[in-house]
């Protein structure tokens, strides 16, 4: 059994080059939530020549929509959403230096190739344990697109969020390598 790798954002090419599909990882540091609507809005802003609300260089996007925080908590439940819905927008964001994405499920072959080309990584998070995942979040800060409600861009500060490397910088794909 391999050991668990601990990473802290922002991510660098050097750190990511050491990961391979199947590695267990604990991510700490700041990541940003963004789902379909936020991705669409970011790409539309780029098409108009506008700056994004977040500099994506070295950053990680978590494909999730957190629920409101109950009393005494920083966040409600938060779990990954199906990643392929972000595929139409992903290459544009990788071009801007995005280094990691957290979600669930398979990605299109062209996205897996783009990970290799941009030396980025796709992490898989476990669906169905959203209440447990919220324990790994120590701070929540709204960033942009508040009118999108739970699909707004939010900065999360993580403490050892468990994920697995699905797609690595060398073209490894956990879904393709499983028996």
Q: What is the pLDDT of residues 25-62, one digit of tens each?
A: 999 999 999 999 999 999 999 999 999 999 999 999 99
Rounded Cα gap, residues 22 and 43, in angstroms: 30
* Dist CA 156 CA 64 (whole Å): 11
Q: What is the pLDDT of residue 179?
A: 67
- Look at the chain and report how many structural domains it folds into: 1
Render the burial of 46-58: b for 16+ CB within 10 Å, e for the rest: beeeeeebbebeb
The answer to whether the CB of 161 falls within 8 A of the CB of 7 is no
- Known catalytic residues? 39
Burial class (CB in 10 A: 0-12, 13-18, 19+), 128: exposed
Q: Which range of residues forms the domain containing residue 59?
A: 5-177
- Contact yes or no for 151/100 (Cβ under 8 A): no
In angstroms, the CA 130 to CA 79 distance is 4
Residues 6 or more apart from 132 whose CB is under 8 A from it? none
pTM of the model: 0.95
Q: What is the pLDDT of residue 148?
A: 96
The CATH number of the domain holding residue 57 is 3.20.130.10
User: pLDDT at position 2, please?
Assistant: 62
pLDDT of residue 1: 45
Neighbouring-strand partners of residue 33: 62, 154
Q: Check if the beta carbon of residue 166 is closer than 8 Å to that of residue 122.
A: yes
Pairing of strands 5-8, 24-33: parallel
For residue 133, what pLDDT is reported? 87
Cα(first)–Cα(last) distance of the chain, in Å?
A: 17
Residue 177's pLDDT is 86
All residue ranges of the chain with pLDDT < 50 are: 1
167 in Cβ contact with 21 (< 8 Å): yes
Q: Is the peptide bond before 49 cis (omega within 30 degrees of 0)?
A: no
Strands 5-8 and 137-144: unpaired
């Amino acid at each position: 059994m391999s050991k668990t790798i601990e990473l802290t954002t922002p991510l660098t090419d050097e750190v990511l080059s050491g990961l391979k599909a199947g590695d267990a990882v604990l991510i700490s540091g700041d990541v940003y939530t963004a789902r379909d609507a936020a991705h669409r809005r970011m790409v539309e802003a780029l098409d108009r020549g506008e700056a994004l609300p977040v500099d994506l260089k070295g950053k990680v996007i978590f494909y999730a929509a957190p629920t409101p925080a109950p009393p005494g908590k920083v966040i409600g439940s938060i779990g990954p959403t199906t990643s392929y819905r972000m595929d139409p927008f992903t290459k544009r964001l990788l071009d801007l230096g995005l280094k990691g994405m957290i979600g669930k499920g398979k990605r299109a072959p062209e996205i897996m190739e783009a990970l290799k080309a941009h030396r980025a990584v796709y992490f898989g998070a476990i669906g169905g344990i959203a209440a447990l995942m919220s324990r790994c979040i120590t701070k929540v800060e709204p960033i942009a697109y508040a009118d999108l409600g739970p699909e707004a861009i939010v900065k999360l500060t993580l403490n050892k969020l468990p994920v697995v490397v699905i797609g690595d910088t060398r073209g490894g794909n956990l879904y393709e390598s499983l028996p």
